[in-house]
Amino acid sequence: MSKEIKIGLIGAGWMGKAHTTAFHNARMIFGDDMPVFELVSDVSEDAVAKFAKNMGYNRYTTNWMDVVTDPAIDLVDVATPNCMHYEMAKAALEHGKHVFCEKPLSLSAEQSRELADLAKEKGVVNYCGFSNIMNPANQYVAELVKSGKLGKIMRVHATYDQ
């Protein structure tokens, strides 16, 4: 049985576009749980209106608090400058929303622990996305693979510990 997951995005810049594209692609993998692009927020009305139209969002706003307080939203996606993540994620959690936040979740371990505790208290998921595509080590490995120097790759298992 399919379940709609209504997404509210805060931040209609490059990372917001990347997250929305990933949610679109998730349909191919997860099928049954379908993202609904409900509401997007950004400070520029012209930019957010264009983003909403191009990326398939039903509505847009210039006030990020509209996203976290909207009863229709199930999941708040925070794709804003790093210094804003904690405040926005906390507000979303306080309103009982699941949170997907671009890294870093906050600017301190204490703030991150507070968000984890709040999510547990509210019974929602607080997830921080770590994408390392621009990490120099990952780019070097990609270059090696593309060059053919490693031969035909049959299987890869990797970990990254910073």
Q: pLDDT digits over 37-85, tens only?
A: 999 999 999 999 999 999 999 999 999 999 999 999 999 999 999 999 9
Residue of 125, 46, 42, 115 lying closest to 80 (CA atoms): 42
Q: What pTM was estimated for this model as a whole?
A: 0.80
Structure tokens at 6: 């209504």
Architecture of domain 3-133: 3-Layer(aba) Sandwich (3.40)
Per-residue pLDDT tens digits for 82-104? 999 999 999 999 999 999 999 98
Per-domain residue ranges of the chain: 3-133
